[in-house]
Amino acid sequence: MIHAYDKIYLAKAQATLGAMLDFAVCNLNKDISDFYQRFLESRIC
């Protein structure tokens, strides 16, 4: 099976998304559910 990405990028992508959510919730005081929903609806996602 051909994947859209190489497995070596998965850990970095997970860490980056985790850091994004941590920053939004802990530093910007955003609601995690609302922030994540907005992220999913964005073109960045």
Question: How confident is the model over 1-45, as pLDDT tens digits?
Answer: 777 778 888 899 999 999 999 999 999 999 999 999 999 999 988
CB 23 within 8 A of CB 8: no
Q: Count Cβ neighbours within 10 Å for each residue of 3-25 and write b for 16 or more, e otherwise.
A: eeeeeeeeeeeeeeeeeeeeebe
Does 12 reside within a domain?
yes
Does 1 reside within a domain?
no
CB count in 10 Å sphere of residue 44: 8
How many independent structural domains does the chain possess?
1
Does 27 reside within a domain?
yes
The parent domain of residue 27 ranges over 7-41
Does 36 reside within a domain?
yes
pLDDT at residue 3, rounded to an integer = 76
Does 2 reside within a domain?
no
CB 32 within 8 A of CB 24: yes
